[in-house]
Structure formats: structure tokens, C-alpha cells
Amino acid sequence: MSLARPLLATACAFVCALPLASPGADAERGRALYEQRCDSCHAESVHGRAKREANGFESLRGWVRRWSGNLGLKWSAEEIDDVSLYLNGRYYRFACPPDTCRKSGAAGGAPQFTAIGSTGAS
């Protein structure tokens, strides 16, 4: 038996196991990026203050883009959308553009996150 069949079968299994690309932002990737690059300075107090700078999803995305540039993070447009989606679902709950929030599956396009330390039970 030649090695061609087992190699082809392995390659097919590998390709089939890859996640399919889907449109919209990824809040979990946004959470990881935020926790890695922003969370040490931006505790919940930044997002929960009464006079927020962000007043809608586009404004929030603008702030994420601005700080990505200010800090030299060089985030891609997709990464900016991911972080914006995460922050929106975690703190803001602004109406979210369908092209950005398509993957969340939550009502209004905002992903639902449970507060830290919460069990999710009411």
C-alpha cells in the first residue's frame, strides 16, 4: 500500500477540521486581545463611569482604533471590530451594525457576557 492514500486522508481530515471563515467580529478573540493589551490599565471603572466618551457603537470602535494607534498595537480592522464587539457586549450594549455583530447570535447583535464572579443564576 502506498503512502499516498494515508497522506491524502490525513490532509483531508486536517482541512475538514479547520473552522470555516464566517463574517462578523469575534468577541472571544476581542476579549483575549483586550485582556492581553488593555485590561491592566482599563479596569471596569473606565467603562462604567457616568460620562463616557463612547456614545454609540461607531464611537466605541473609533476609541478602540484610536488607542490601538496611540499604543502602536497595529491592530487590523478585524481585531478592532473584535475588541469593540467584546467591549460592547461586556459594558455598553449599543446597537451594533449587522456586518460586525453577525456572529454573536444574541438579540440586537451584542454578545452576552456574565459578570466576573457571577454564576449566571438569578
* Residues 6 or more apart in contact with residue 85 via CB below 8 angstroms: 25, 26, 27, 30, 96, 100, 101, 104, 110, 111
Higher-confidence residue of 3 and 35: namely 35
CATH of domain 22-96: 1.10.760
Read off the pTM: 0.65
Least confident range from 45-49, 74-78, 89-93: namely 45-49
* Whole-number average pLDDT of the chain: 73
Q: Does residue 21 or residue 57 have the better pLDDT?
A: 57
**Is the Cα torsion angle 49, 53, 58, 63 positive or negative in sign?**
negative
Domain boundaries, given as residue ranges, for the chain:
22-96
Q: pLDDT tens digits for 40-65?
A: 887 666 777 777 889 999 999 999 99
DSSP symbols for 39-102:
TTT--HHHHH-SS-S--SHHHHHHHHHHHHHHTT----HHHHHHHHHHHIIIII-----HHHHT
